[in-house]
Amino acid sequence: MKKPTDIGVIIGRFQLDKLHKGHLALVEHARKSHKKIIVFLGINDGNPTKRYPIDYGTREKMVKTAFPDIIVAPLKDMGDDKKWSKQLDDKIKEIFSHGSVTLYGGRSSFIPHYSGKHQTEQIDNAIEDSSTSIREEISKEIIDSEDFRKGLIYSSHNRYPNVYQTTDVAVIKGENVLLARKEHEKNWRFIGGFVDPTDKSLELAAKREVKEEADIEIDNLEYITSLRVDDWRYANEESKIMTAFYKADYIYGAIAPKDDIFELDWFEIDDLDQSKIVKAHWPLMDTLMSYLKFVNQ
């Protein structure tokens, strides 16, 4: 039997729109044994994600509203379990310099990762609901309320600006380069698109885009440069597009426009000029011309 302690500490994320019965059970269990309770809310350094959509300040307010007498504090995520454990012990000591401590966690909690000096206790039935499945259900619903719309605006304004990674490819066949045209565009562009989270490298992403948009095989993929692409969709946004630009040799296959490509055609490289290319790809065209001139010297 574990010794009774002075301080109860709960570590969790509480990444939901409200405290569910698992959260409430965990806190109430700790309150039965302790008058001093700290709830540490895990925080990470990046933009909101599906797993961690709610910022620290919003979660702190939610917990304090339900339990005004409980101390709530942030606990930063770390890749090293030992350093994380030391951080936790140090923060507990900062809040309460004296007293014995029990750390409480529910199912799939922090406990296997903790190597500090305090005793731990797992509340097996504290978290009965899956936070992931609850968030998924919430994400399917559009709520017609002012607060809901304010929340969307708050979330978008409290994100770090992003750089979206793309790849573009100049597919070369002899003295010609393959260009693509989208249905509602007059001018042409290099084949390319956004890198998928499933792509294992930029090179594989480039090859995938060529296959998806032109249905041909390429080889001898050569990295040329990286450039910011001033896509019209992001002209007035803080977030921007960064592309990795490649040259590749055409191997075989009949070109066939697919995905969001309306038309494909071969163009003589020496005849390329800005009148044929979408404005966002002018820097890519200029870079390609300079690159080919250099390697063909």
Structural domain boundaries in the chain: 7-157, 163-295
163, 241 in Cβ contact below 8 A?
A: yes
Query: Tokens 């692409």 map to which residue?
Result: 229
Given this model, what pLDDT does residue 126 score?
46
> Distance (Å, rounded) from C-alpha 96 to C-alpha 72?
13
Given this model, what pLDDT does residue 278 score?
96
70-102 tens-digit pLDDT: 999 999 999 899 999 999 999 999 999 999 999
- The answer to pTM > 0.85 is no
Whole-number CA gyration radius for the chain: 27
Three-state DSSP at 67 gives coil
CATH class label, 163-295:
alpha beta
Given this model, what pLDDT does residue 21 score?
85
**CATH superfamily entry for domain 7-157:** HUPs (3.40.50.620)
> Distance (Å, rounded) from C-alpha 10 to C-alpha 244?
45
Which of 116, 87, 94 has its CA nearest to residue 103? 116
Fold equal for 7-157 and 163-295: no
Residues of the chain with pLDDT under 50: 126, 128
